[in-house]
Amino acid sequence: MTAVITGAAGGIGLALAEALHARGEQLLLTDIDDTALAEVAARLGATAVPADVADPGAMAALAERAPEARLVCLNAGILGQSLGAPWEVPAEDWDRVFAVNVAGVVNGLRAFVPRLLAAGEPARVLITASLAGLAVFPGGGAYGPAKHAVTALATHAAMALADTPVRVTMLCPALVATGISAEGVPPSEVAAEALRAMDEGRFTVTPPEWHGAVVRQAGQRVAGEVPGVPGPVLD
């Protein structure tokens, strides 16, 4: 079986690649950073296919390279250059963040899911969203809105695939120590929990200490209240 990982040259994608390599999986890795990708692939004995997930043709070509894929990790994502309020974010930043974070997932689903369904075998799709796709935080530019779209895509996909052998898991971590954030939990912990969730058939993976904040903010919206800034509940 082959596992495909987008955004595999660093962060969560790299951690997923390392964890799956340790499980003995064959890997097909892609990233827009071809130099870093080549180094990772060489170290893990993986196949490297540099690609921009925002390009539908590139994702279709990637799927053609992995006919045996039964695990597809749609992980690639970017933060964006501007982290201000919506009206402060330049148009080009909105376009690029949505092209990678949202269209990248759509392109991956379009390229791989029909092939997974045609195979008629158990398969998994892991979609990396974010806690910022479940709760709204002040600032963050286009990243949060894009990740909210990703959580909707993942939920829609899971519903559409409910009666098939293909299962979807949505990864919604809080801060992770990656290229996007200097602070946070190690990517290896996030990857391990994501694989555990897939093994157990869980849909959403997000830190327990944030569950209450997500529910409270949703309740505020339903009640018509002005939303407050969410925060974790720590032991």
Give the residue numbers annotated as catalytic, written as ranges: 143
How far apart (Å, rounded) are the C-alpha atoms in residues 37 and 114? Answer: 27
Residue with tokens 């827009």: 32
What would the two tokens of residue 103 be? 């269209």
* Three-class SS state of 3: strand
DSSP at 54: T
116 is written with which tokens? 């997974």
